[in-house]
């Protein structure tokens, strides 16, 4: 009898806790050292609804993101590792800031102002995600970690030297993560300046599973992408330059569709989605994509200023990555929606331009908003 009373009491307490207002704030914790001995910190941003976002200074990585389901129960909806070692041992960009150039540059080569630049080739014949030591593998400086009357703000910066990873110009990037006190979203404002012309394309590479990072695959989660076209690519995922309609293909997510519904029709090894969508309108802040998980009721909306978004269905995950709490991340354990300029834009004259000049300021804003929906 006592056991039953205790159980009922704890259920009531748990539910009360789930809906109660939490004390909002930012907590800083040491998170280990890099192989070079640089200290890394973890920042825990908790808003008034209890949504928790953990971000570390190594790679500006979002390590955990606890969002409520339809019963108010929190789950960690991003893939990642428990500790710094897990990330230092190598991982497929879990939660990371990606730069100086997110996505691919054909053969690692481009010409700017008459000079040819050669980058490290780290993805088949191409350069991917900023090189061997991209912005995902550096320790970001914390410029600000504060709670305002509206939001929790963590501002990070990183100065990439002239010639780093083969890119021209000293590039100073600032990335501001902010979480509103009363709304469950993570806003990411990126800005950058340079002293020489250079390509810039910054993004965040979080892998989401709206059921929880350790809850199997994302194939039943329903996706809408606000795009009628995509950039057609070759076998190495370099755009051919052609913009193709999604209509009549398994890439059509103009209507909400389970991610797994047509995934079996896709070619490639390993098969799955890994393509850049052409968002409409190309300029300005707009809703880019929406994902809904029928099981938990969680809904994710992605808003961005960027002209494109890479939808990647975790095709390369193969169970080798032991994740948080021993979770095994198999193929399609998470999806990425990487707001970006189109891949290889630096070699494609008809794509929106990506060259930042010394007199200009690069900026991009992307918002990941969590809510509950009925369908």
The site for ligand GLA (CB under 6 A) is made up of 92-93, 103, 128, 237, 274, 310, 312, 316, 336, 338
User: C-beta of 281: minimal distance to ligand GLA in Å?
Assistant: 23
**Cα–Cα distance measured from residue 20 to residue 172, given in angstroms and rounded to the nearest whole number:** 41
**Cα–Cα distance measured from residue 87 to residue 145, given in angstroms and rounded to the nearest whole number:** 23
Residue among 69 and 136 whose Cβ is closer to ligand GLA = 136
Phi, psi of 7 (to 5 degrees): -65, -45
Residue among 41 and 318 whose Cβ is closer to ligand GLA = 318
**Cα–Cα distance measured from residue 344 to residue 306, given in angstroms and rounded to the nearest whole number:** 15
Residue among 102 and 153 whose Cβ is closer to ligand GLA = 102
Q: Which residues are catalytic?
A: 205, 338
User: C-beta of 338: minimal distance to ligand GLA in Å?
Assistant: 6
Cα separations (Å) of 358 from 77, 171, 342? 39, 9, 22
User: C-beta of 335: minimal distance to ligand GLA in Å?
Assistant: 10
Owner of token pair 């032991």: 322
Residue among 69 and 165 whose Cβ is closer to ligand GLA = 165
Count each helix (H run) and each strand (E run) in the chain, helices first. Answer: 2, 27
**Cα–Cα distance measured from residue 192 to residue 345, given in angstroms and rounded to the nearest whole number:** 18
User: C-beta of 148: minimal distance to ligand GLA in Å?
Assistant: 33
| Six-digit token string for 70 | 């339809």
DSSP 278-300: E-SSSSS-EEEEEEE-TTT-EEE
């Amino acid at each position: 009898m006592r056991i039953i009373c205790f159980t009922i009491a704890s259920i009531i307490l748990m539910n009360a806790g789930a809906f109660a207002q939490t004390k909002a704030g930012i907590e800083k914790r040491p998170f280990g050292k890099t192989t070079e001995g640089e200290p890394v910190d973890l920042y825990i941003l908790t808003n008034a609804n209890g949504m928790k976002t953990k971000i570390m200074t190594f790679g500006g990585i979002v390590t955990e993101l606890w969002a409520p389901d339809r019963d108010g129960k929190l789950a960690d909806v991003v893939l990642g590792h428990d500790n710094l070692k897990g990330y230092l041992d190598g991982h497929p960009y879990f939660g990371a800031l990606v730069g100086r150039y997110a996505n691919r540059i054909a053969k690692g080569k481009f010409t700017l102002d008459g000079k040819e630049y050669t980058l490290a080739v780290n993805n088949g014949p191409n350069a991917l995600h900023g090189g061997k030591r991209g912005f995902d593998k550096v320790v970001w400086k914390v410029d600000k970690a504060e709670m305002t009357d509206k939001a929790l703000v963590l501002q990070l910066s990183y100065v990439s030297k002239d010639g780093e990873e083969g890119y021209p110009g000293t590039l100073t990037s600032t990335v501001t993560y902010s979480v509103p006190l009363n709304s469950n979203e993570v806003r990411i404002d990126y800005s950058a300046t340079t002293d020489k012309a250079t390509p810039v394309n910054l993004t965040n590479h979080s892998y989401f599973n709206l059921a929880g990072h350790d809850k199997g695959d994302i194939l039943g989660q329903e996706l809408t992408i606000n795009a009628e076209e995509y950039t057609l690519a070759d076998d190495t995922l370099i755009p051919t330059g052609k913009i193709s309609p999604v209509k009549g293909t398994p890439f059509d997510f103009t209507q909400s569709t389970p991610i797994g519904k047509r995934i079996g029709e896709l070619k490639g090894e390993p098969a799955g989605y890994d393509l850049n969508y052409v968002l409409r309108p190309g300029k300005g802040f707009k809703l880019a994509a929406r994902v809904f998980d029928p099981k938990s009721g969680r809904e994710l909306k992605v808003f961005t200023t960027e002209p494109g978004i890479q939808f990647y269905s975790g095709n390369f995950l193969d169970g080798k990555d032991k994740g948080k709490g021993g979770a095994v991340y198999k193929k399609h354990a998470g999806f990425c929606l990487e707001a970006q300029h189109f891949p290889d834009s630096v070699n494609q004259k008809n794509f929106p331009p990506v060259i930042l000049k010394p007199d200009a300021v690069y900026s991009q804003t992307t918002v990941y908003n969590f809510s509950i929906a009925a369908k």
